[in-house]
């Protein structure tokens, strides 16, 4: 992203939060950025296109930090707690902008914005599902979707209390409290062995697909590609590039073949610069298989 494009997006976030989307003009955004209205349209074809870029910017900022936490922590419970803290922190950091979305209607809705909203919802639910399985193992699978919706709903209630009603909570305490409630729910469901009202298949139909490429694995492969380019001055060996491509393609499949994944990871681990990320990805694959 170009520096000027980023500056326009960050300025728009502030103005949308202060005045509302509908009351903020392109001219005001351009003036605040010290550019002409014509220069604005070099970067964004419309205010609606800018709003979509703002939403993507916010999403990438939040989930880049969340994925980094997962790849740097071996303890799944600690990772989830830290991710919840980051999730709340980032929303509260932009609470005026979030509040604008709650209060101002109608915001523009088109195919791209609808697709983004679905992506954001799916990514948030997947964040919960992946962590629930990492903590409790395969025994939780019949209940993972329902637990995911419960935790998501609980989180939304606390966010509404903080954003709309201006209550405050210590985020470390709040994340621990949510994890404790998750323990109560998960252990109770597994102990009673009752049938879940919402299966993972049904959740996948409504809000998925949840079986798409795991964003944590995606983040590790992206990091390996960046390191490979940097280590080899933009020209990594062809066998390394092919191994990363084959590995990524296989991991995107609903039923990936472990033999292929294992072979590609062994190839990648021959390069010391990428071994740390390859080891983390190996552990993540074994944990989810």
Q: How confident is the model at residue 289 (pLDDT cuts 50, 70, 90)?
A: low
Q: Helix 3-19 to helix 95-103 angle, to the nearest 10 degrees?
A: 60
Residues with Cβ within 8 Å of 220's Cβ and at least 6 positions away in sequence, in order, are: 71, 277, 280, 281, 284
Condensed to tens digits (0 to 9), the pLDDT of residues 159-211 reads 989 988 889 999 999 999 999 999 999 999 999 998 889 888 888 788 766 65
Do 67 and 164 fall within a single domain? yes
Q: What is the pLDDT of residue 207?
A: 74
pTM for this entry = 0.69
Do 67 and 159 fall within a single domain? yes
Do 82 and 137 fall within a single domain? yes
Do 75 and 181 fall within a single domain? yes
Tell me the CATH number at 108. 1.10.357
Condensed to tens digits (0 to 9), the pLDDT of residues 20-58 reads 888 899 999 999 999 999 999 999 999 999 988 988 888
> Does any domain span residue 220?
yes
Q: Is the pLDDT of residue 213 over 70?
A: no
Q: Is the pLDDT of residue 106 over 70?
A: no
Domain count within the chain: 3
Choose one of 162, 182, 207: the last residue of a domain: 207
Q: What is the pLDDT of residue 64?
A: 79
Domain carrying residue 18: 3-45
Token pair for residue 180? 């404790």
> Does any domain span residue 202?
yes
> Does any domain span residue 183?
yes
Do 127 and 258 fall within a single domain? no
Q: What is the pLDDT of residue 275?
A: 94
Do 133 and 29 fall within a single domain? no
Condensed to tens digits (0 to 9), the pLDDT of residues 256-278 reads 899 999 999 999 999 999 999 99
Dihedral of CA atoms 67, 73, 78, 83 in degrees, nearest 10, equals: -10
- Rounded Cα gap, residues 43 and 52, in angstroms: 13
Token pair for residue 64? 């880049």
Q: What is the pLDDT of residue 171?
A: 96
Do 64 and 203 fall within a single domain? yes
Do 74 and 186 fall within a single domain? yes
- Residues in the chain, how many? 289
Q: How confident is the model at residue 73 (pLDDT cuts 50, 70, 90)?
A: low
How far CA 110 is from CA of 48, 49, 113, 244, in Å, comes to 9, 10, 5, 35
Do 192 and 255 fall within a single domain? no
Long-range contacts from 277-284, C-beta under 8 angstroms, 24+ separation = 277/71, 277/220, 277/223, 277/224, 277/227, 278/224, 280/71, 280/220, 281/217, 281/220, 281/221, 281/224, 283/74, 284/214, 284/216, 284/217, 284/220
Do 203 and 65 fall within a single domain? yes
- Rounded Cα gap, residues 111 and 122, in angstroms: 16
Token pair for residue 160? 């509404």
Q: Is the pLDDT of residue 107 over 70?
A: no
Q: Is the pLDDT of residue 154 over 90?
A: yes
How far CA 62 is from CA of 55, 66, 105, 176, 277, in Å, comes to 11, 6, 24, 20, 21
Condensed to tens digits (0 to 9), the pLDDT of residues 124-147 reads 888 888 889 889 988 898 999 899
Do 180 and 234 fall within a single domain? no
Q: What is the pLDDT of residue 274?
A: 95
Q: What is the pLDDT of residue 211?
A: 57
> Does any domain span residue 53?
no
Condensed to tens digits (0 to 9), the pLDDT of residues 231-253 reads 999 899 999 999 999 999 898 88
Q: What is the pLDDT of residue 94?
A: 80
Token pair for residue 251? 């991991």
- Rounded Cα gap, residues 160 and 269, in angstroms: 46
Do 237 and 262 fall within a single domain? yes
- Rounded Cα gap, residues 247 and 215, in angstroms: 14
| 213: DSSP letter | -
């Amino acid at each position: 992203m170009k520096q000027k494009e980023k500056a326009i997006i960050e300025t728009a976030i502030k103005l949308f939060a202060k005045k509302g989307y509908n009351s903020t003009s392109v001219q005001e955004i351009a003036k605040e950025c010290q550019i002409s209205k014509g220069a604005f349209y070099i970067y964004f074809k419309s205010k609606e296109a800018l709003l979509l870029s703002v939403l993507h910017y916010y999403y990438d900022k939040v989930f880049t930090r969340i994925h980094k936490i997962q790849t740097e922590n071996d303890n799944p419970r600690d990772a989830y707690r830290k991710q919840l803290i980051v999730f709340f922190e980032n929303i509260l950091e932009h609470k005026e902008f979030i509040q604008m979305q709650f209060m101002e209607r109608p915001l523009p809705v088109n195919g791209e914005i609808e697709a983004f909203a679905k992506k954001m919802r799916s990514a948030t639910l997947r964040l919960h599902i992946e962590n629930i399985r990492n903590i409790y193992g395969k025994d939780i699978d019949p209940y993972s979707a329902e637990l995911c919706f419960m935790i998501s709903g609980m989180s939304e209630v606390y966010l509404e209390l903080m954003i709309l009603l201006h209550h405050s909570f210590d985020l470390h305490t709040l994340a621990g409290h949510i994890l404790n409630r998750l323990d109560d729910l998960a252990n109770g469901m597994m102990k009673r062995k009752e049938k879940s009202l919402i299966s993972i298949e049904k959740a996948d139909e409504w809000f998925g697909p949840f079986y798409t490429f795991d964003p944590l694995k995606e983040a590790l492969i992206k990091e390996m590609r960046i390191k490979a380019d940097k280590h080899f001055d933009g020209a990594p060996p062809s066998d390394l590039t092919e191994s990363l491509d084959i590995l990524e393609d296989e991991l995107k499949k609903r039923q990936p073949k472990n033999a292929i994944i294992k072979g590609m990871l062994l190839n990648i681990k021959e390069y010391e610069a990428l071994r740390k990320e390859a080891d983390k990805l190996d552990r993540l694959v074994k944990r989810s298989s």
